[in-house]
Amino acid sequence: MAGIYVHIPFCKQACTYCNFHFSTSLRGLEEMTRAIAREAEIRRDYLEGERVDTLYFGGGTPSLLHAGWLEGIIGRIRSLFPISPDVEITLEANPDDLSNTRLAELRSCGVNRLSIGIQSLVDADLRWMNRSHDAPEALASLRMARECGFRNLSADLIYGMPTLDEESLRRQARQLVSLEIPHLSCYALTVEPSTALDHQIRKNDFRPPDPEQAARHFELLDQELTASGYEHYEISNFALPGYRSGHNSNYWKGVSYLGLGPSAHSFNGISRQWNISHNARYLEAIGKGIIPAGSELLTATQHRNESLLVSLRTREGLDLKGFGERWGKQEADGLLEESQRFLEEGLLILEGSRLRMSLRGWLLADGITAALFRTAESGPFLPMGGMVTEGADQVSQDQPSQEHQDEGTSKYRKRKGHKRR
């Protein structure tokens, strides 16, 4: 089991809060699609023959791709990797890029899941975000997608903005529920360095997000959506039964994934790799048959901490029995002992052998997981019988901050205090 993430680094305009890698010049879009297909060919052995169950197009704005370009990338991936017959193929889309014709084209290319970046159903907030659509377009895109046969749909929603009151957020949640959107990714507004939002706050043109207000919004969304039958299956994600994101779920399970395109990350169970966040240098390197990436061989401590981090993000939490089998009984017993203060405070919950966060715990997830991390470094992590192997030629670069390529991360960073995409 494995996944493939494809980063399309182009947008029509920059959103106020976004610091992900993209260009607002669309001139190199077709050339980029050819380079991504070429990178897939160069890295065809990265997943070591594992079956690909999920393919995710993020960005940037993948809905800018012409049908032929998208079909070319998907076809090339299908020819190079063993693809599951029921592979989940997700494409992130902006509402204003969608029409009945466009939706039919996406279905014909093999896309069977859409993640639509509505972000808000309030026009004033959308204008402040510098989004390229308005609220009626957002609602129309969701209705059109359903009418065109897309049953597996996700919508993004941003909360925690100082201008957003609780009643407005409640109305938006109920609108999405009434439209029977089976998956919702809800993220708190986060201020990232060098974004337009960061500059506005520094100039006192916009109030910084209030963590207490964001916490109330988070609890409101949990209340509204779980009452409507949604599973709050991960800190930022809600789904009706049977509609969890397969691609995101694989990340949280530590499944191997290959990232294609500028700034995309990859993980093979032993090491982490990240492509250069520069379109021109990426194109130049791929043209020479070189993967322009940096890499890091993960230590056992890093593996242990990351497995803890991603598990506690989920509703199921961490299986202490499995944790002990992998890291040793003493390590599992130590983790349980260190968790006692959070259990006593109701921030963690122990159900059988599973340790998970309560709703209040999720609000403080960053601090809790940091307290449970190990800091002493150990040697490189090698699975049983495993070895470190050399991959394609690479151009080394400084490592960026780590982040998962999951639902909504091409729009903005996940929250920090209410724990990140």
Domains in the chain, start-ordered, CATH in brackets? 2-251 (3.20.20.70), 300-372 (1.10.10.920)
pLDDT in tens, 204-223: 888 888 999 999 999 999 99
Task: Supply the DSSP string of 225-267, one letter for each residue.
Answer: HHHTT-EEEETTEEE-TT---HHHHHHHTT-EEEEESTT-EEE
Confidence (pTM):
0.88
Share the mean pLDDT of the chain: 88
The enclosing H or E element of 95 equals none
pLDDT of 371 reads 95
Which phi and psi angles does 74 have, rounded to 5°?
A: -60, -45
Long-range pairs of 9-13 with CB within 8 A, sequence gap ≥ 24:
9/59, 9/60, 9/261, 9/262, 9/263, 9/279, 10/59, 10/60, 10/61, 10/64, 11/59, 11/60, 11/61, 11/64, 12/61, 12/64, 12/94, 12/132, 13/130, 13/132
Structure tokens at 387: 């070895």
- CA dist., res. 290 & res. 286, Å (int): 5
pLDDT of 384 reads 32
Instruction: Tell me: pLDDT of 148 over 60.
Output: yes
pLDDT of 401 reads 33
- Of the pLDDT bands very low, low, confident and very high (cuts 50, 70, 90), residue 90 is very high
* Cα–chain center distance at 152: 17
Instruction: Tell me: pLDDT of 407 over 50.
Output: no
pLDDT of 271 reads 93
pLDDT in tens, 1-18: 999 999 999 888 878 887
Cβ contact 86:34 at 8 Å:
no
Nearest 5 degrees, angle CA 203-CA 204-CA 208?
Answer: 115
pLDDT in tens, 350-385: 999 999 999 999 999 999 999 999 986 655 444 433
Instruction: Tell me: pLDDT of 251 over 70.
Output: yes
The half-sphere exposure of 239 on its side-chain side, counting CA atoms within 13 A, is: 20
pLDDT in tens, 260-302: 999 999 999 999 999 999 999 999 999 999 999 999 999 999 9
Nearest to 179, CA basis, from 213, 144, 209? 144
- Widest pairwise Cα distance in the chain: 59
pLDDT of 11 reads 87
Instruction: Tell me: pLDDT of 198 over 60.
Output: yes
Cβ contact 265:259 at 8 Å:
yes
Say which amino acid occupies 300: A
